[in-house]
Amino acid sequence: MSDRRIALGLFLMGHGHNVGSWRSSPTPGEDLTSLEHYHQLAAHAERGKLDMIFFAEILYSYELNGRHEGALAFPTLDPMVLIPALAAVTEKIGFVGTYSTTYTDPRATALKLATIDRLSAGRAGWNIVTTGADRAAANFSTRTHPGKEERYIRATGYVETVREAWQAMPELPQGEPVRVQAGMSPAGKDFAARIAEVMFTIASDRDKAVAFRSELQAMLAGVGRDPAGVRIMPGIAPILGGTEEEARANEARYLELLHPRIQLAMLGDQFGMDFSGYAMDKPLPMDDIRQAPRVLSGMRDPARLIGEDGEVPTLGEYLRRQARVRAHHSFVGTPEQLADMMDDWSAAGACDGFNLMFPVQSEGVPAFVDEVVPILRQRGLVRQDYEDTTLRGHLGLARP
Amino acid sequence: MTSPTRTVVVPADLTSGTLQRWIEAIESFDAAGWPLVLVGNCDRADPLDGLAMAAFCAARTARIGLCAVVEADTVEPFTLARGLATLDFMSKGRAAWRIAPGSDPDRSIELVDTVRALLTSWDADALVADVEGGQLSDPAKVRAIAHEGAYFQVEGPLNIPRPPQGSVPLVAFADEGAVAKVADLILHEGTSWQVSLAELPDRLHPVVPPQAAPFPSVPGER
């Protein structure tokens, strides 16, 4: 038995983090806006005694050349309304909702989180984002999206205002909701070292994750904070199967969910360019891509489209390659192998837990809770049952 | 003692301290068939967010309408429309909203217009979820709103489909001036019951379902 603990978050996004995951559901349209859909997943996570459920926020609709992009535009509900509804039908699991410091008012955000903390009896957390997407600006009476430095300056003052508002209210169940942060840029790390209690990170290499955690702990010590006071949780996208072959078959099946139309829309979204008129078996139209609107604004480097061999792939080849690539750590294997990997990362000091991003949640959540959690429990790496009632308590974070 | 026959419940003493007991009271109003309760509290010393509270109550009740009292001066229309649409989905079409008293009237009127435009920016049948065609929504049925006003400039569309009620009704008291003029449902002294926990009877008077829906129909298709 181990005295290490692995914190577990479940990042729910529609039907899953595979952009075509809705195509796996018999009732895709209904699910996306129904409390029952999210409740079923949350209840399963709570049966697995997970620490928390995490929701992102998207503040714009996908469009291309002024036309709504129907292949990508899945609804993303307001996390600060979805979470209290889920809190009413769960008992112990924590909830982290994302809200932007660039496009909301700190007084309103403080009030939402405080109310959710009361309604849930201490299970609220806030993922503090500055909103990276410049397209949100047009929905928020702003002509130009502020630059990163400016956004983090505003975020610092914003968080201070929110915390002051919390302190001025009658005492909250957790003292203050848990502060979560996800940016890994230098500005993001600096911000995290000063304000975060949980950090969601991107890491697919264990040794790099160890180095990142040491660096952040040194930064925490540098600003006079307890280096053990922040939980670092990399995102991971597990695809499980009873055997390795089964897991690989599931991976192949998930790639099929990415309908060519969805893949073309994803590529179009990267460059702000319509690819539907180009032939799948012809090389990528590099000259046109270099002229594309989002390349000019520096969002993507077209050189990255070209393979290591210097060959320009066909549009079809590129889409197939792209479908496999994910920023977050993808894992394909058996429950035992996933438990081993998590145990190994934890033992090496690479992280304090994981944020689970299943490509297809209706399959991934039950498989993880029913098959991976029991192994982690047997090794003493996760709790047998909830020992506390608040998110702060689950994560072992001190009250402010 | 039985409760009066006025049917819209306006909690008079909803605070952090009475929150749990008020949730239980709202569950009782729901069971007794009352049509609408106003939730939220903009008391500076002990405020509660109306949308969060309404969403929590939505999951604990089956039929009662839930009107979120909204602090209008600190919210952008895109955020508010996202919150109201989500509440309407969570409650399966039982959401309403009221602008907190004391909000800037000119800004509030433009907020109402913009929120309504966003809530109706998807046609009711725009979410096609075409598995074979790889198309979740029909681009011809989702439109930008391109709102250019004195307070807000919002491109849209909303990134949430058309809510179950078609839009989310705005509730106002008759004496609330400009906002009352644009409201979908007007409350009078005689139609609302401002009540504190201590004044609630042990047994609530059951309300006979009204002939008509409590809300007038909302512009746009249903």
Identity of residue A289: I
Q: What's residue B6's pLDDT?
A: 61
In this predicted model, what pLDDT tens digit does every residue of B149-158 receive, in sequence order?
999 999 999 9
Contact A111 B56 (CB under 8 A): no
Provide the CA A319 distance to its chain's centre, in angstroms. 23
**DSSP-assigned letter for residue B175:** T
Q: Give how far A151 is from chain B: nearest CA, Å.
A: 18
Identity of residue B51: L
The number of C-beta contacts closer than 8 angstroms across A and B is 180
Nearest to A85 among B55, B76, B129 (CB): B55
Of B208 and A388, the structure prediction assigns the larger pLDDT to: A388
Judging contacts by C-beta atoms under 8 Å, the chain A residues touching residue B78 are: 59, 103, 139-140
Q: What's residue A326's pLDDT?
A: 59
Whether pLDDT at B216 is above 50? no
Q: What's residue A266's pLDDT?
A: 85
Q: What's residue A32's pLDDT?
A: 94
- Compare all CA atoms of chain A with the CA of B122 and give the residue at the minimum distance: A68
Contact B71 A108 (CB under 8 A): yes
Whether pLDDT at B11 is above 80? yes
Nearest to A71 among B49, B134, B155 (CB): B134
Judging contacts by C-beta atoms under 8 Å, the chain B residues touching residue A175 are: none
Average pLDDT of B95-113?
A: 96
> Distance (Å, rounded) from C-alpha A23 to C-alpha B133?
10
> Distance (Å, rounded) from C-alpha B46 to C-alpha A110?
12
- Residue A349 sits at the vertex; the CA angle it makes with A327 and A190, to the nearest 5 degrees, is 60
Judging contacts by C-beta atoms under 8 Å, the chain A residues touching residue B155 are: 138-139
The number of beta carbons lying within 10 Å of the beta carbon of residue A98 is: 21
> Distance (Å, rounded) from C-alpha A84 to C-alpha A104?
19
Whether pLDDT at B1 is above 70? no
Whether pLDDT at B210 is above 60? no
Q: What's residue B3's pLDDT?
A: 47
Single pTM value for the model: 0.94
Give percent of chain B above pLDDT 90.
80
Judging contacts by C-beta atoms under 8 Å, the chain B residues touching residue A82 are: 55, 86, 90
Lowest-confidence pick of A85-99, B185-199, B205-219 = B205-219
> A263, A319 in Cβ contact below 8 A?
yes
User: CA gyration radius for chain B?
Assistant: 18
Contact B139 A28 (CB under 8 A): no
Of A163 and B222, the structure prediction assigns the larger pLDDT to: A163
ipTM score = 0.94
- B215, B199, B191, B201: which is closest to B28 by C-alpha? B201
In this predicted model, what pLDDT tens digit does every residue of A103-145 receive, in sequence order?
999 999 999 999 999 999 999 999 999 987 778 899 999 878 8
Task: Collect the ranges in chain A with pLDDT lower than 70.
Answer: 1, 295-301, 323-327
Nearest to A81 among B87, B157, B158 (CB): B87
Q: What's residue B16's pLDDT?
A: 95
* Residue B218 pLDDT class (50, 70, 90 cuts): very low
Dump the DSSP string for A346-364: HHTTS-SEEEE--SSHHHH
